[in-house]
Amino acid sequence: MCGIVGYIGNKKALPIVLSGLERLEYRGYDSFGFCVLGKEKFLYKEAGKISKAEEVRGFDWEGTVGISHTRWATTGEVTRENAHPHCDCKEEIFVVHNGIIENYKQLKEKLIKEGHVFRSETDTEVIAHLIEKHFRGNLEEAVMKALKEVRGTYGLAVVSTRDPDKIVAARLSSPLIIGVNNNEFLIASDPSAVITTTKQIIFLEDNEIAVLKRDGLTILKEEKERQKEPETIDWDVEQSEKGGYKHFMLKEIMEEPNVIEDAMRGRLLLEQGNVKLGGLEFVQTKLRKIDNLFLIGCGTAYYACRTGEYMLEEYADLLVQTDIGSEFRYRKPIINKNTAAIFISQSGETADTLAALREMKEKGVLSLGITNVVGSSQARETDAGVYTRSGPEIAVASTKALLGQLTILAMITVYLGRQRNMSLIMGKRIVSEIQKLPQLAREILKQKEEIKRIAEKYNKYRDFWFIGRKYNYPIALEGALKLKEISYVHAEGVAGGELKHGPLALVDENCPTVAICPTDSVYEKMVANIEEIKARKGKVIAVATEGNEKIKEIVDDVIYIPKTLEMLTPILSVIPLHFFAYYFADSLDRDVDKPKNLAKSVTVE
């Protein structure tokens, strides 16, 4: 949520920061603004979409230093006054900020007593006034002094007409990267904002302050200079654009077979019945000793955890517990010296998941990560981990990232299982079936028009149940989440066996059910659940295994998936649910890529 883009160099800053902001629209926002410094300052901010800036886009503004921001409201309503950048009393210091300043009310009261005049309701504005208070001619010194007074999280960029040829940036628990391109520098909250200019990236770490000038970059931590070399990001502009599809979400669903393929590439050892996960090699001895494993994530990543729990318990002989990141840190989990934890996040910047990670590290627990973003906070802070290699995911509702996470979890299951009691024969069988998944997934893509027809058939309904059992119970939760996220209709996921414990009270002809019922160990149980629904005149859409013609006798519509191992069915069964949610929402003309009230990366608690 929220986005930052800044530029300093020899080019005009206005078109660069505006273009960068547009590349961050996917994160979700409700207002925007920018400040460009040249011979004069140019400040513009507005509630609403960046398209409102068309009136200024063509301005021939000479300024070559600029900062900009997309805001997702937390403290203060959605108004022009609350949009960033925020400034000091004299409009000489300008700040854009992601995060939350927890003690802003106390600071604001103190500053008002000292004579400062506030223009907004936001927590961010106190930073501008604190910098003003401490400014003695050097911007970075004033920023460092101001930040010593704040409590909370921040990724911020600051410019000043009183020290005009620099941008000062700082980070604490909110991501910031620096793009390096010869004698020009960019600051951003996401690499997608800078890839049109450079692929050379420096990731700021917590408590680091960066000073960007045309003649160089200085990074400070605890007022001491640090040397950091840029890393090269391995995706390009084309990867972050729609590629001819109507929405990013549809493009990303169509990429799901490639995501599975990229996640497994070079990692499958068929003859050994095992996998090679380079990121785990140097902790493999420690992993042999664990007997207790936590899986922690938020949202869709949490559903990946729930699915992984079934995999790891059945095939790796581990005691596995799953937790929502936002709840975990308020528990008192039972851990011992043989406990490990896996943290799952697409961005690697999910605030609640990072908080849980830091809590476990404080307790000395071996911490592993599954993430998509190289250099993210999670990637740097875990003891070891595996990248999903899913490429940029632009749509707010996560789809392809889940496929990467599930594929990695299946491989980790083999990896840990072979360390324990999994036989060579079973290892070979699972690895062989993982290898087939991309092609099986492509077979599902061929059904997208049929799934579209079914979605449009049901688009008048406003209440849905999604049911599944065992491996596909978490996928029922995911299907319901996707539908509610982007179409704004009520949907709930429930374990099939729980229907008679309450949910059946709501089943009738106005409340359809999506039943995930592949031919597996709980198929007969799922059929019984479907019959319970049909007895109450409920309509049923089934996700079933190819060749199961008998299911048509008891349901209203069927979407087929290819046959695979039971533990791998979630990787296939979730694809039709993503299509269903997409086409359902699109038929209602929803803003599919940027659903209301939501943001891509949840970097505040």
Tally of residues, the chain? 605
Burial 576-591 (b: 16+ CB within 10 A, else e): bbbbbbbbbbbbbebe
DSSP 139-184: HHHHHHHHHTT--B-EEEEEEETTS-S-EEEEEEBS--EEEEETTE
d(CA 537, CA 379): 49
Q: Which of 2, 298, 305, 511 is catalytic?
A: 2
d(CA 511, CA 38): 60
- Nearest CA-CA partner of 370 in 473, 437, 307, 296: 296
Q: What is the dihedral of CA 127, 131, 133, 134, to 10 degrees?
A: 140
- Nearest CA-CA partner of 551 in 542, 562, 538, 563: 542
User: Is 2 an annotated catalytic residue?
Assistant: yes
Give how far the C-alpha of residue 519 lies from the chain's centroid of Cα atoms, to the nearest Å.
Answer: 32
Neighbours of 449 (CB within 10 A): 9
d(CA 500, CA 506): 11
Pairing of strands 31-37, 65-71: antiparallel
Which residue is listed with tokens 């207002």? 31
The amino acid at 263: A
H or E element, residue 31: strand 31-37
The amino acid at 377: S
- Within 13 Å, how many C-alpha atoms sit on residue 75's CB side? 19
Beta bridge partners of residue 210, listed in sequence order: 169, 219
Q: Which residues touch 560 (CB under 8 Å, ≥6 apart)?
A: 447, 543, 544, 545, 546, 548
d(CA 431, CA 454): 34
Q: Is the CB of residue 342 less than 8 Å from the CB of residue 296?
A: yes
User: Is 363 an annotated catalytic residue?
Assistant: no
Active site residues: 2, 600
